[in-house]
Every structure is written in C-alpha cells, then in structure tokens.
Amino acid sequence: MRRVLVLAVLPFLLGSCGGSSPSTSASPAATPGPAWVTVQPGNATSSPATKFSGTFPPALPPVSFLPQSSACAIAWNEDIGQVLIPMTVTPGAGSLKVQWPARYGNVYRLAAVPQEIVSGAQPEPKWQTVTTDGGCTGTATLSGLKSGAAYIVWLDAPDTPRGPDNSRSLYSGRSGVVKPN
C-alpha cells in the first residue's frame, strides 16, 4: 500500500522540481548590462574589457628621504645572540682609520689585533677607548702599527644588548684582514 502511494505521488513531486517552463517576463534587475557576456550558439564571444582613458594622479605622494652619510647607510647583519657592527677600515702609513655607525651609545673600544703566528700565550689586545659626539658615525685612527703586517680590527661597544644569560661577545664588530701602508 505504501509503495503504491509513493508511486502515485512521485509524478507530482518531480513536476514541481523543474518540470515547469521558465517565466518569459524579465524583471528590470535581471536585464543584462555592459558587464555581462552574451553568448550566442556557434559564435565566439570575446571577454569584456574595461578601458581607461585620460591621465590619473599617482596613487601615492612622492617620497623624499633625509640625507645620510655612508656610515649610516651600511646594512646591519644581526645574527641571533651576536651583534656585528659593520666597519670601514682605511689603511694609512702605520695606521688604520676606522669608521662605523654609532648605534649603541657614545663609548666604543677599538683594537688592532696582529695576525702573526705567536708561540705560546697570545698577547692581550691593546684597546683604545673612543667617545663619539652622538652623531650616527664613529671615527678613530689606530696608530703605531707595523707597515705591511696583517691585522684584524675589533670594535667593542660596551652598551650592546646582552644575551639571556647576561653575556656578550668580546667584540661587537670586526674587520677582515687589513695591512697598514
């Protein structure tokens, strides 16, 4: 009995799900506009394209930067746990002129560490304390060096950030091997 009732009602249910023909009257909201693509069977239809004409103002205002010295513009390479301050070292007659961005306070220490092989205990570096004027560049000259001898310049900034265990490196910056004239 149930099967007969379901089979008898089935044509009515299917007819109401889409068996009726669509309405031929179009409402104003359904009228295709310029953004619609009209497709005709058998004909290729191009995609709609928006065309602009005229000139447009720039999206952002022009930007100008304050002038910086070359030492202020040096990129920083900050590894986790170690701050390496970049330096520019210029050899002179028995001296090395050192320039660096003064980012960590006004007091720095410099040492020219000889790279010759020494048997036994290594000599302690001779540190020179330098106080900067608060600008963005620190400059100092290390003199009394052997002409033609190899040195690495160490730069220590006592006010550099400390690690989680309150430790910091012996030096905060270092040069490559340099030789005074």
- Of 106, 81, 74, 26, the closest CA to residue 175 belongs to 74
Residue 95, in any domain of the structure: yes
Percent of the chain with pLDDT over 90: 30
Over residues 9-24, mean pLDDT: 54
**11 located within any domain:** no
Summarised one tens digit per residue, pLDDT across range 106-127 is 899 999 999 999 899 988 999 9
CATH number of the domain that residue 102 is part of: 2.60.40.10
Q: Return the SS3 of 101.
A: strand
Distance CA 140, CA 175 (A): 14
Structural domain contains residue 7: no
Q: Is 56 part of a structural domain of the chain?
A: no
As a whole number of angstroms, the distance between CA 67 and CA 57 comes to: 27
Say if 23 falls within a structural domain: no
Distance CA 159, CA 172 (A): 10
DSSP three-state, residue 32: coil
Domain residues for the domain of 107 are 77-178
Whether pTM exceeds 0.75: no
Query: 88 and 71 in contact (C-beta within 8 Å)?
Result: yes
In a domain, 35, yes or no: no
The predicted-structure confidence for 84-109, as pLDDT tens digits, reads as follows: 788 899 999 999 999 988 877 789 99
User: In total, how many domains does the chain have?
Assistant: 1
pLDDT of residue 71: 47
On whether the CB atoms of residues 100 and 71 are closer than 8 A, the answer is yes
In a domain, 6, yes or no: no
Residue 105 inside a domain? The answer is: yes
